[in-house]
Structure 1
Amino acid sequence: MSTSERAPVSPSRTDPFVRMASKLIGGPLGRHAVDPPRRRFWNPYYVTMAVAIGVLALAWFQKAPCVDGGWVDNLQYKEACYTDIRALWGAERLNEGAVPYRDHPVEYPVLTGWFMGIWGQIGFLAEQMLGVNGGALFYNLNAIALAVLGLLTVTAIHKMRYQRRPWDAMMFAAAPVMVFTAYVNWDLLAIAATAFFFLYWKRRRPLIAGLFLGLAVAAKFYPLLFAGPMLVLALRRDGFSLGRLVYTVKTLATGAIVWILINGPVAYLWPDSWMRFFELNSERFVDWGTGWYVLKGTWALPQFSDVDWVNTAYFVAFLVCCLGVAALGFFAKTRPSLAQLCFLVVAAFLLTGKVWSQQYVLWVLPLLILARPQWRLFLFWQVAELCYFFAFYGKMLEVSTSGSEGISEELFLAAASFRWIALAVVCAFVVADVLRGRNVETQDSVQLLRKGPQRLPA
C-alpha cells in the first residue's frame, strides 16, 4: 500500500460538496500541504467536538421557549419547541414523585424508563424541598445528560474512523437535525450505546460489543434489528469460519443476557407495566407522516383505519424488505459492512412502519455516516427531514386551531412524501454501493476527484 493510500482522507479532496464549500475558506487542501496538518490542539477530533458542543447548545436554545411548561396559545407548535421530555413530566406522573413501572406504566423500554425516572425523582425532590420548577429542572437535567451522550457518540464515530477518515464524525456533530430533534425524546441514549456497539464490534471485542448492544435494545427496541445483518455476514460463504460465527453468537448472547438482566426485575415485579410498551405498539393507529398516513390521505381506503390490517400489512412489507436485505448481504460479490446492512434494515423499518416520529431520524444518522459518508446525499436527506419537521408543527397548529392557522393537509402530505422518498433514495445509493463492492471499511466511499490541481497521485 502506497503512502498516499495510507494517508488520512481529506474531505476537500474526496467529497465534491466539501471541495466546493472549502472555497469559502481558501479552497481544498493543496497538493504539497501536510495531510493531516500538524497541530497540537486543533486536530479533527477537537474541531468536531467543538462543533458538536455548539450544535447541542443551539438545540437547547431551540427548545428553550418550552422549558417552563407554560404552553399557552399553542406555543409548542408556533415555536416548534415541543419535547416529549417536558410533556411527560406530568403525563408519566413524575411531577407526583411516581416511580416508573412501580407506580405508573411507562410507554418506553426499561432503560429509558429508569433514565427518566432518575431525573424525575431529582426534579420532584428539588421542587418539594427547594421550591424550584421541577419540570424545568427535569428537562434541563435530561438535556445535559443527552448532550453528554451525543458527545460520546461523536467520540465513538471518530474512534472508528480516526486513522483514515477522521472528519466523518463531523457529519453527526454538524447534522442540522440535531438542532431540532436532539432533545425531543431520549433516543440519544440508545444511539450512544449503538455507536459503542459498532466501535467494539469493529475492534473484535464481542463481550463489550454485546454489552452495548444489550443496553441499546433495553433503551430503544430498534437495535434488535441488527441481529439479522450480523448473522447474514457470519454465514456468508466467502470468508466463512467457525470463529466468525462464534464471535457473532457470543456478541448476541451477551446482548441478550444484558437485556434480560435489565428487564427481568421489572417484568417480574410489575408485569402489567412492563407489557405496556409492547401493547402500545400493537394498538397504535397509523401515525402522522408515515407512508401509511400518506396512502391513507391520498386514497382514503377503509383498510387504513383497521389497526389489525395495518399491523399485518406493515409486518409483511417489512419482512419482504428484510429478506431482500438478507439476500443482498449474502449474495453480494464483495462482503458488505455491518453498518450498510443495519442502515438498510432500520431504514426499511421506518419506510414500512406505522409510526415514524420526528426524532427517529437520529436512529439512522450514525448508521448512514458509517455506511456512506458522502455529504451531498447526506444533506439532501437532511433537507427533507427538516422540511418535514416544520411541516409537522404546521400541521399540529392547523389541527389545534381548527384550520385558522398552520398549513394545509396537502402541504403536509407533500412534506411527508418528500421525507419518505429522500430516505428511499439514500437506501438506493447504499444498495448500489453494496452491489458495486464499495465499502468504506476497506476503501473510500467516494472516488477521489479527477479534476483540479489538488488531485492526489494515483
Structure 2
Amino acid sequence: MTHVHPTRDDGVVTALSEVVGGPMGDHAAPHRWWTPTRVLLLLTALVFAAGLVQKAPCSLAEGHDQNWTYSHMCYTDLKPLYVPRGLAEHAWPYSDDEQTRARYKVMEYPVGIAYWAWGTAWVTHWLNGSPDVSARYKQPVEDLYGDPEVQDEESIFLLVNAVGFAALALLAVWLLAGVHRARPWDAAAFALSPALLLTGLINWDLLAVALVAGALWAWSRERPVLTGVLIGLGTAAKLYPLFLLGAVLVICLRRRRPGRFVVTALWAVVAWVVANAPAYLSGPEQWHVFWSFNAERKADLGSLWLVLDQAGDLAISAHTVNVWSWALFGAWCLGVFAIGMTAGRRAAGIDRVPRLAQLGYLIVVGFLLVNKVYSPQYVLWLLPLAVLARPRWRDQLVWQACEVFYFCTVWWYLGGYLAPTGGGDAGFYWVGIVVRVLGELYLAAVIVRDLYRPDHDPVALERVETVGAGSLSR
C-alpha cells in the first residue's frame, strides 16, 4: 500500500467495512485505474449532483410563495439576485453610470464573487442567444421580472453557476487529497459531506473554499509564494482566507523561518490588490459598498448576537456588535497563538509543529463564533480545514450533524414555522444556533487536544515515520 487505507485507520470506516468483507488486507493489490483521488472525484460528483436535485424544487416549481421555498429548504441566492443586481442587463457590478445605479443595487459581496457572477451572466446571455440588453435598459426593472426570456435566463444562470461550483468542488477535493500524500482518503469527509450537498448551491462561497484548498496544498508543497497568492485571491472572494496568515505566522515562528511568512503575506497583499484594482478603479464608491454594508449590519441570522439581542430584547446597535465581535475575535486569536506556540514541543523527541489546517480551523471558527451573521453556507468555510485538521469520521459526523440541525432550523425560522402561536421570538431557533456553536466548539476542543497530545492525532502519528524538511507544517 502506498497510502493509509481508511478501513485500517478509522474505527467508523473499519466497522462499516464489515458489510463488504472487512478492512483492506495486508496483501491486497490496489486497482490500476481507480486510484483514491479518482474515487474521491466520483464521490464528489455524485454528492454535488444530489445537491442539485435537492435544490431543484425551488428552481423548477412555479406559483409558490417564499415560505414554500423555506419549507422545502431548497433556497438559493442565485436566481433572486439575477435581476435586482443588474445581471439581466449584464451591467458591470462596479459601474458608476447614474441610470444603472438608480435601477440596481451594488453587489454586496467582495470583488471575486462579483466578477464570477458577472462572468456567468455573460455565459448565460450567450447560451440564451445573446439578447439585446440595450432594450432591457429602456424598460422599467419591474417589467423584467415577468419577462419570459429573463425568467429562462434565471434558470440558465443557476445551471451555469452549478456547473462552475461543481468544478470548484472537484478541484477542492483533488487539492485536499494531495495535501498529505500518504493520506488521500482524508478528503473523503469533504467529498461525502452533507454540508456540501445541502449548502454548496446557496451562494458563491465555493469559490473561496477552492482557493483555501489550494492554499493548503501549496503550503504542503513548500511554496510560500503560491500560498500567498491563493490566500490573497481567496480574500478577494471572501474575507476569511485572510485569517490563514495567522496560522502561517505561528508555523514560521515555530520553524524559525520568519522570512517565509513575510513572503507569503507580501504575495497575499499583492494578489488581493491586483484582484481589487479593476473594481476600485472603475467605481470606488461601488467597491466600498461591501465594507459599508457589513459595517452597518446589526445582529443577524444565525449569530449568538441575535440570540442575545432577542432573548434580552436589547436592540443592540451595529457599532456595539462591531466593537465587541472584533475585540472577542482578537482575544480568541491571541489564545490560538498561545496554543500554536506551546503545543507539541519536542513530543517523542520531535518538534511537532501544528499544521496549517489545525490552526486555520481554530482561527476561522473563532471568527464565525463571534461574527454577527452566520448564513447556512458558512459551514463551507470550515469544511476543507476541518477534514484535514481532524480526519476522523466520528468527529466529522458529530460536527456536521450539528450543522445540519442548524440548517433545518434556519429555514423553519425564516418560514415562520418556529414562531410561537401566542407571539414573541422563536426560541427554538436559538436552540439551533447553540447546537451549531457546540458542534464547532467540540471539534475545536478535539483539535486542541490533538495539538497537545499528538498521540491522538492520526496525521501526526503517520508523520513520525516520514519526518522531512516540510512534513511537520502541512
Residue 172 of structure 2 aligns with which residue?
Answer: 153
Q: What does the per-residue CA deviation read over 1:105-137, in whole Å, with 9 as the maximum and x for residues that have no partner?
A: 211111110000011233345557464701111
| Counterpart code for 2:31 | R
Q: CA deviation at 1:68?
A: 4.5
Residue 328 of structure 1 aligns with which residue?
Answer: 339
The CA distance in 2 between the partners of 1:402 and 1:124, in whole Å, is: 42
Q: Structure 1 residue 425 and structure 2 residue 442: aligned?
A: yes
* Cα pair 1:123 1:134 within 8 Å, conserved: yes
Residue 348 of structure 2 aligns with which residue?
Answer: none
Matched position secondary structure for 2:108? coil
Comparing 14-23 with 368-377, which one deviates more in the overlay? 14-23
Residue 450 of structure 1 aligns with which residue?
Answer: none
Matched position secondary structure for 1:335? coil
Residue 67 of structure 1 aligns with which residue?
Answer: 59
Instruction: From the superposition, tell whether residues 381 and 187 of structure 1 become closer, same or farther in structure 2 (CA, over 3 Å).
Output: same
| Counterpart code for 1:372 | R
Residue 205 of structure 2 aligns with which residue?
Answer: 187
Q: CA deviation at 1:440?
A: 5.3
The CA distance in 1 between the partners of 2:17 and 2:311, in whole Å, is: 43
Q: What does the per-residue CA deviation read over 1:361-412, in whole Å, with 9 as the maximum and x for residues that have no partner?
A: 001001011111110010011111111111111111117x9778xx981222
Q: CA deviation at 1:310?
A: 1.3
Residue 57 of structure 1 aligns with which residue?
Answer: 49
Q: CA deviation at 1:265?
A: 2.6
The CA distance in 2 between the partners of 1:298 and 1:431, in whole Å, is: 31
Instruction: From the superposition, tell whether residues 299 and 59 of structure 1 become closer, same or farther in structure 2 (CA, over 3 Å).
Output: same
The CA distance in 1 between the partners of 2:116 and 2:63, in whole Å, is: 25
* Cα pair 1:49 1:154 within 8 Å, conserved: yes
Instruction: From the superposition, tell whether residues 419 and 372 of structure 1 become closer, same or farther in structure 2 (CA, over 3 Å).
Output: same
Q: CA deviation at 1:71?
A: 6.2
The CA distance in 1 between the partners of 2:107 and 2:250, in whole Å, is: 34
Q: In structure 1, which of residues 125, 129, 142 is the aligned counterpart of residue 161 of structure 2?
A: 142
Q: What does the per-residue CA deviation read over 1:261-292, in whole Å, with 9 as the maximum and x for residues that have no partner?
A: 11123212201110111111111111122112
Comparing 281-290 with 64-73, which one deviates more in the overlay? 64-73
User: TM-score when scaled to structure 1?
Assistant: 0.88
Q: What does the per-residue CA deviation read over 1:431-457, in whole Å, with 9 as the maximum and x for residues that have no partner?
A: 111112355554249xxxxxxxxxxxx
Residue 266 of structure 1 aligns with which residue?
Answer: 279
Q: In structure 1, which of residues 265, 283, 298 is the aligned counterpart of residue 311 of structure 2?
A: 298
Residue 177 of structure 1 aligns with which residue?
Answer: 195
The CA distance in 2 between the partners of 1:71 and 1:417, in whole Å, is: 35
Q: CA deviation at 1:67?
A: 2.1
| Counterpart code for 1:313 | W
Comparing 122-131 with 20-29, which one deviates more in the overlay? 122-131
Q: What does the per-residue CA deviation read over 1:288-318, in whole Å, with 9 as the maximum and x for residues that have no partner?
A: 2211222233333x2x522111111111111
* Cα pair 2:419 2:425 within 8 Å, conserved: no
Taking every aligned residue pair, what percent have the same amino acid on both sides? 35
Q: What does the per-residue CA deviation read over 1:236-277, in whole Å, with 9 as the maximum and x for residues that have no partner?
A: 3xx41xxx2222211221121111111123212201110111
* Cα pair 1:110 1:262 within 8 Å, conserved: yes
Q: In structure 1, which of residues 83, 92, 101 is the aligned counterpart of residue 76 of structure 2?
A: 83
Instruction: From the superposition, tell whether residues 313 and 395 of structure 1 become closer, same or farther in structure 2 (CA, over 3 Å).
Output: same
Q: What does the per-residue CA deviation read over 1:8-51, in whole Å, with 9 as the maximum and x for residues that have no partner?
A: 22222221111122122222223x332xx321122212221111
Residue 343 of structure 1 aligns with which residue?
Answer: 361
Residue 18 of structure 1 aligns with which residue?
Answer: 13
| Counterpart code for 2:79 | R
The CA distance in 1 between the partners of 2:51 and 2:249, in whole Å, is: 37
The Cα RMSD (Å) is: 2.3
Residue 330 of structure 2 aligns with which residue?
Answer: 319
Q: Structure 1 residue 101 and structure 2 residue 94: aligned?
A: yes
Residue 302 of structure 2 aligns with which residue?
Answer: 289
Moved >6 Å (runs of 4+): 401-404
The CA distance in 2 between the partners of 1:342 and 1:129, in whole Å, is: 43
Residue 256 of structure 1 aligns with which residue?
Answer: 269
* Cα pair 1:395 1:408 within 8 Å, conserved: no
Q: Which runs of 5+ in 1 are unaligned?
A: 1-5, 446-458
Comparing 266-275 with 66-75, which one deviates more in the overlay? 66-75
* Cα pair 1:335 1:437 within 8 Å, conserved: no
Q: In structure 1, which of residues 385, 388, 396 is the aligned counterpart of residue 414 of structure 2?
A: 396
Q: Structure 1 residue 33 and structure 2 residue 50: aligned?
A: no
Residue 34 of structure 2 aligns with which residue?
Answer: 42
Q: Which runs of 5+ in 2 are unaligned?
A: 132-148, 346-351, 464-474
Residue 168 of structure 1 aligns with which residue?
Answer: 186
The CA distance in 2 between the partners of 1:369 and 1:261, in whole Å, is: 31
Q: Structure 1 residue 205 and structure 2 residue 223: aligned?
A: yes
The CA distance in 1 between the partners of 2:60 and 2:86, in whole Å, is: 17
User: TM-score when scaled to structure 2?
Assistant: 0.85
Matched position secondary structure for 2:183? coil
Q: CA deviation at 1:93?
A: 2.1
Q: What does the per-residue CA deviation read over 1:74-113, in whole Å, with 9 as the maximum and x for residues that have no partner?
A: 3311211111112211231212332211155211111110
